[in-house]
Amino acid sequence: EAGVTQFPSHSVIEKGQTVTLRCDPISGHDNLYWYRRVMGKEIKFLLHFVKESKQDESGMPNNRFLAERTGGTYSTLKVQPAELEDSGVYFCASSHSRSEQFFGPGTRLTVL
Amino acid sequence: DQQVKQNSPSLSVQEGRISILNCDYTNSMFDYFLWYKKYPAEGPTFLISISSIKDKNEDGRFTVFLNKSAKHLSLHIVPSQPGDSAVYFCAANLGNRDDKIIFGKGTRLHILP
């Protein structure tokens, strides 16, 4: 069974540009989570989807971040416009029925 | 305002000896505590958990101890092996009320030959 996959693995963009990160959860997992780890800090929760609905988006930093999960399958996280402080590693995780969360390898975002 | 704290950024342990990773928390409402292991360029991988109603959980070489009165938990790895070298994250959640995971900053464990 394939694990959680994320694309791209790395992204380097300039301040003010737009970046879209993608997450493909484990097949059949209704729950999808986004987390972020900024350099030197802890991994922080961003939001939680149940199928295509946002269950909890309390961790989203501001309105420059937009997450979608059309059709309840893969999810995208768009940052527009990107700022320097958005640099970090963005992790996606999925779970079945609120059980163990399986994490993807992450997307390392660098904003110059 | 960190709710889960790992005060040791790194730890070095001789192969075959016991590794003890410590973690403190502030929120007495946490229902579950978890330990994740992370290798470079990979996502965190679940290792072991403990419910707030227990004080010990063991799985092979890994044992987690919970001291609720002190709001402290620890992960014991014995014996330590080279493949245990990784970053270990202590984490917690509110169980059925809210399953988002709250992580500590992590402790990098080096197993020395």
CB contact under 8 A, B106 and A102: no
| Mean per-residue pLDDT over chain A, rounded | 94
User: CA of A71, closest CA in chain B: separation in Å?
Assistant: 22
Distance (Å, rounded) from C-alpha B28 to C-alpha A79? 35
pLDDT, tens digit, 9 for 90 and up, residues B20-64? 999 999 999 999 999 999 999 999 999 999 999 999 999 999 999
Distance (Å, rounded) from C-alpha B101 to C-alpha A65? 20
Q: Minimal Cα distance from A10: which residue of B?
A: B41
pLDDT at A72 over 90: no
Q: Look at the block and give the residue holding tokens 């917690």.
A: B92
Task: Spell out the residues 6+ positions from residue A80 whose beta carbon is closer than 8 angstroms to its own.
Answer: A18, A19, A64, A66
On whether any CB of chain B is under 8 Å from the CB of A2, the answer is no
| Mean per-residue pLDDT over chain B, rounded | 95
**pLDDT at res. A67:** 97
**pLDDT at res. A91:** 98
pLDDT, tens digit, 9 for 90 and up, residues A18-36? 999 999 999 999 999 999 9
